[in-house]
Every structure is written in C-alpha cells, then in structure tokens.
Amino acid sequence: MPEALRTFIHIPPDSPFPVENLPYGVFRRRNESNPRVGVAIGAYVLDLGVLEHKGFFDELPAGKVPLFMQPSLNAFLEAGPAVWKQARRIIQELVTVDGSSLKEDIELLEQVLVPLNQAELLLPVEIGDYTDFYSSKEHATNVGTMFRGADKALMPNWSYLPVGYHGRSSSIVVSGTPIRRPWGQIKVEGADAPIFAPSRLLDFELEMGFIVGPGNALGEPIPIEKTPEHIFGMVIVNDWSARDIQKWEYVPLGPFLGKNFGTTISPWVVPMEALEPFRVPGPRQDPEPLPYLRMSGDQAFDIHLEVYLKTEKLAEPVRIVRSNFKYLYWSIYQQLAHHTSNGCNVRPGDLMASGTISGPTKDSYGSLLELTWKGTHPIELPDGSIRRFLEDGDTVIMTAWAEGPGYRVGFGTCEGTILPAR
C-alpha cells in the first residue's frame, strides 16, 4: 500500500476522513437552506459546490450541467468513472501540501472548509430503486438453521445465485433519523389467527451497500467484467427488521411490511477508488458460479464492521458486534451482474444492499436474531439489563473502516433510535 498522503489541513491520526478517503456527501450549513455536494476531510466538509462555482472543476468533461451545486450526487454519478477519477485527482491536489492553489487563499479556505459540527448532513443520493440481497453464507445458514433445521439451512438456489428482493426506497433515511416501531400482523405461537399490533421482535441488520453510477439501458445486461464501471462507492446500511411481522407475511413472496418501514444509511459515500488498496480474496465459492457470474481477481474488501447499542440507561454505547465485509459470499460485482442479467435497467443513485453480514464467530453475527439465537440466549449489558430484541429508546450505532498504513478509510457512523409505536 502507498504511504499516507500529506495535507495542510489538520487531520487527527484516528480520523476516518484522511485525504486518502474523501467520501462524498450532501450537506448544508446550519444557517442556510441550499444543499450541495461536499467531501469529508478531517473535521471538515470541503464545499465542492463553491469550488465548482469558482471554476476549480472547469476541466471536467461534464458539459454545462453543474455536478456539485446540486441537492444530490446523482448528476455526478451519471457522469461516469472517467469524471469521478478526474474530480478525485483535482480534490486531492487542492488539499495536499505540494502544489495546492487553495492553501494560500485564506478567504476562500474559510468559505469552503465547513466544520462538521456546523453542517447538516443529508441523504447523499436520490434513490430511485433499492434492492436488498441475502449474500452472507453464515447469516443465511444461521437463519435457515433456526427455522428449518441444519440439514435444510440453505435453499437449493442459494449457492448458485445472489438471492435478493426489491425494497422500498421511499423509507430510506440518513443516519440520525429516528425509526418508529412499526405495527403489523403478528401470529403468536399457538394462536389460531394473527393480531394487529406493534412489533415485539424489532431488530437491526448490519449491512453495506453500493451506489450505482451510470447504469444500463433496459434489455442490456451489464457483463460482470464491466460492473466496476457502474459502481461509484459504498455506504453502511442498517436494514431494520420486524422479525415477527416478517415471519407471518413472507410466504410466498418474501419480505414486505416487516422491512419497508425504515432503512438507514450513512451520510458519506466512500468511492471505490479509495477502497481499491483493501481488495482481498472472497470466500471460496462452491459450486463454481455460472459463467456470467465469474470474474478474475480479488472481489472482496477488508472493511472492519462494528455495531454498538446504547440504551436509555447506559451512559456509553456498548459494542455487541465485530465483523468484516470480506465474509460476504457473493461480491458486489456478482450482485450487479446478476441483477441486470435479465435486462433489468439500473439507474444513477440506485442502492444495492448486501444483506446482513455475519462472520464465523458469534460476536460477528450481524443481527440480534442471531446474537440471541431467536431470543433464547439474551445479551447481558453492563448495567445488568438484557436484550433479546430492540426496545423503545434503544440506539443502534454502526461504523466501518478499512485500515491503511498510518490512516483509516472510514465511513463515519450509521445511527438510529427506536421510537415507540404510534
């Protein structure tokens, strides 16, 4: 891996946002109303909208359409990988010690370096469509074992294709947005008929997601070797799940109201170029995937994942999960290739989530369903309280980062607090 880059902007050693990262997001100053695109660097947001207005991105071949003075990343996503690469080079040159024209312009620096604590972070993309996969073999095996037994844990198709379903984009929210406990039909064990009540088995799901770039035309699949050209970057995803609602409704068509009440994503989109140094081999795939899902080279990424739980009585959040994105069986490239293999068109800003990411050990399981094994082995918290599933007032905090030599490429946090049912 290359050595850490130097910048004139003060960045603490443990910052998730060094110059090697530069994740994109959408923000507005707390006293302003107009959102625009920025990148996180240290404890600041670098205002790309103002820099664009002042001509710093004039060399980008994007025509007359502004890319950064926009309320979402969608125009930038549509511009494609050549523009992404060139924009990243310009930004890195602006903030590095050598050759920066920004360093000496104190007045401009005060305009474009916005302290994070003075910025309101918004949903970074306008998400037209959302697909959630089921790509962790450990998670699928755990859940299948609970409900069908170890001998029937994986369905026959699971090892041949990335299983997925279409979620609801309208209920995707940015980190920090509270989640209301949902109502739904629940069939209690031993009852003859369901009741309509607030979910009693509310859960989190530790996931990562990728954001689609240019996309494809209807009827024209994206070959797997071309998928990197259509994946802009990644976010943390918490796809909240009401297990009791889901259990009653999911046969025969899969998740519905047990999932679509809320999905939380982190505000920063880490570009794939920043994650390239952290490529690693993925799990061995057996049987060998069909030809349209085969791709040479390392397709997984070494990204550390953690989940913390904060209750109303705990003074500090407590870590309950340590996992890694590299455990995912089906890669993001296989997911996108399969998604479009029938000619389905994807569009700039579409979100594709991994499904719950679980590892081989109990502390790496990515949901309370697994951590407590369907509630039969509750988690004991430092104050002596226990959790089988989430209670009102609980806050779930997810974080992710890739470790480089002397720096971290971080995603920030993905947080949400459970509000009582209406």
180 within some domain? yes
Cβ atoms of residues 171 and 258 within 8 Å: no
Q: What pLDDT sits at residue 99? A: 63
pLDDT above 80 for 121: yes
Contacts of 307 (CB under 8 A, 6+ apart): 204, 206, 319, 320, 321, 366, 396, 397, 398
Examine the fold and report which residue of 122, 150, 165 is the final residue of a domain before the chain moves on.
Answer: 122
Q: What is the pLDDT of residues 228-259, one digit of tens each?
A: 999 999 999 999 999 999 999 999 999 999 99
Asked if 165 and 68 sit in the same domain, the reply is no
Q: How confident is the model at residue 1 (pLDDT cuts 50, 70, 90)?
A: very low
Rounded distance, CA 325 to CA 59, Å? Answer: 36
How close are the terminal C-alpha atoms of the chain, in Å?
51
Asked if 164 and 280 sit in the same domain, the reply is yes
Structure tokens at 294: 């085969």
Q: What pLDDT sits at residue 288? A: 97
pLDDT above 80 for 373: yes
CA distances, 338 to each of 212, 301, 347, 378 (Å): 14, 19, 15, 37
71 within some domain? yes
Rounded distance, CA 247 to CA 236, Å? Answer: 25
Amino acid present at 324:
N
Rounded distance, CA 119 to CA 358, Å? Answer: 33
Q: What pLDDT sits at residue 247? A: 94
CA distances, 4 to each of 24, 44, 116, 270 (Å): 20, 19, 23, 17
Q: What pLDDT sits at residue 253? A: 92
Average pLDDT over the chain, rounded to an integer: 96
Residue 63's CB: how many other CB atoms inside 10 A?
Answer: 8
Domain residues for the domain of 36 are: 24-122
Rounded distance, CA 184 to CA 421, Å? Answer: 11
pLDDT above 60 for 2: no
The domain that holds 79 is classified in CATH as 2.30.30.230
Residue labelled with tokens 């705990």:
314
Strand 36-41 and strand 44-47: pairing?
Answer: antiparallel
Rounded distance, CA 42 to CA 64, Å? Answer: 31
pLDDT above 60 for 347: yes
Upper half-sphere CA count for residue 256 (Cβ side, 13 Å): 12
367 within some domain? yes
Asked if 189 and 69 sit in the same domain, the reply is no
pLDDT mean over 387-396:
98
pLDDT mean over 387-407:
97
1 within some domain? no
In 213-359, the DSSP E strands lie at 231-238, 241-242, 263-265, 270-271, 279-280, 300-301, 304-310, 318-324, 351-353
The domain that holds 266 is classified in CATH as 3.90.850.10
Q: How confident is the model at residue 79 (pLDDT cuts 50, 70, 90)?
A: very high
* Percentage of the chain exceeding pLDDT 90: 92
Asked if 117 and 137 sit in the same domain, the reply is no
Q: What pLDDT sits at residue 33? A: 87
14 within some domain? no
Q: What is the pLDDT of residues 145-190, one digit of tens each?
A: 998 999 999 999 999 999 999 999 999 999 999 999 999 999 999 9
Cβ atoms of residues 368 and 378 within 8 Å: no
Asked if 143 and 105 sit in the same domain, the reply is no
Asked if 203 and 103 sit in the same domain, the reply is no
Asked if 345 and 196 sit in the same domain, the reply is yes
- At 285 the three-state DSSP class reads coil
Examine the fold and report which residue of 83, 102, 122 is the final residue of a domain before the chain moves on.
Answer: 122
* Percentage of the chain exceeding pLDDT 70: 98
Q: What is the pLDDT of residues 130-146, one digit of tens each?
A: 999 999 999 999 999 99
Helices (H), 222-290: 243-249, 272-275
Examine the fold and report which residue of 71, 99, 122 is the final residue of a domain before the chain moves on.
Answer: 122
pLDDT mean over 71-84:
97
Q: What pLDDT sits at residue 265? A: 98
Strand 44-47 and strand 318-324: pairing?
Answer: unpaired
Task: Just list the catalytic residues.
Answer: 139
Rounded distance, CA 369 to CA 376, Å? Answer: 9
Q: What is the pLDDT of residues 93-105, one digit of tens each?
A: 999 877 677 888 8
What's the structural domain count of the chain? 2
CA distances, 66 to each of 33, 229, 392 (Å): 18, 21, 43
Rounded distance, CA 321 to CA 55, Å? Answer: 45
